[in-house]
Amino acid sequence: MDVAPADCAVLVGVALRAPDFVRQVRAPQSHAALVARASTRSPDEVYARRWAQQAGHVGRILDDLHELGVLVVEEWARLEQLDLVTRGRAAVVVATHNTGAALQMHDAYAPHDTVAAAVGAYRGCLDLCSCRSIDLLPLVRAAAPDARLVIAKRKLSLVFHMSLIRATLRSLAVRPRPYEHALSEVAAEFVLRSME
């Protein structure tokens, strides 16, 4: 089924506030912690700089998605607007952290069962490449057993995946087609460009 950006929804569970981000990256094996140990700067300085880069980049991408007409749900208060069963042909779940029983959204923690209920009995394409919450992922998959799932073979960085989502949706704005086809084409182009 052909998809345009207005047919898409992106559910965002990302630490965009500095204290939340710092708490996540202090984990001993996180990339930021490894960078901080190798840096001549203090860990807090490294974390603050990485947070500013991530929040700025993701914020710009979310602004672009809004302009394309994508339904972007960042707040728990707007979660009921994520009516995928009647609205969406493609949906993306971005959850970059594992917080136990809740997804950290911009304004509050949304219980995982509430998020799964918002996904509902969705049958379209469900992009879970950036759903890293080991507690949320099975609930979303169970809530939408008939959805066409897109799952990454390898862990993607938030910035890379968000850039990939934006490029895919821009491509769909030019030429509507199934989301997973556009994502594959854009991903192949990203890889080829990086190898040049």
What pLDDT was estimated at residue 168? 94
- Maximum distance among all alpha carbons in the chain? 53
Between 135 and 164, name the one with better pLDDT: 164
Average pLDDT over every residue of 12-40: 58
Average pLDDT of the chain, as a whole number: 76
Q: 32 pLDDT exceeds 70?
A: no
SS3 for 34? Answer: helix
Confidence of residue 27 (pLDDT cuts 50, 70, 90): low
Average pLDDT over every residue of 65-83: 81
Q: State the total domains in the chain.
A: 1
Cα–Cα distance measured from residue 180 to residue 161, given in angstroms and rounded to the nearest whole number: 14
Model pTM score? 0.77
What percentage of the chain exceeds 70 in pLDDT? 69
Most confident of the ranges 17-26, 131-140, 161-170: 161-170
Confidence of residue 94 (pLDDT cuts 50, 70, 90): confident
Cα–Cα distance measured from residue 125 to residue 146, given in angstroms and rounded to the nearest whole number: 9
Average pLDDT over every residue of 18-39: 55
On whether the CB atoms of residues 16 and 162 are closer than 8 A, the answer is no
Tokens of 37: 């140990």
Structural domain that includes position 96: 5-195
How many CA atoms lie less than 13 Å away from 29 in the CB half-sphere? Answer: 0
Q: 124 pLDDT exceeds 70?
A: yes
What pLDDT was estimated at residue 41? 66
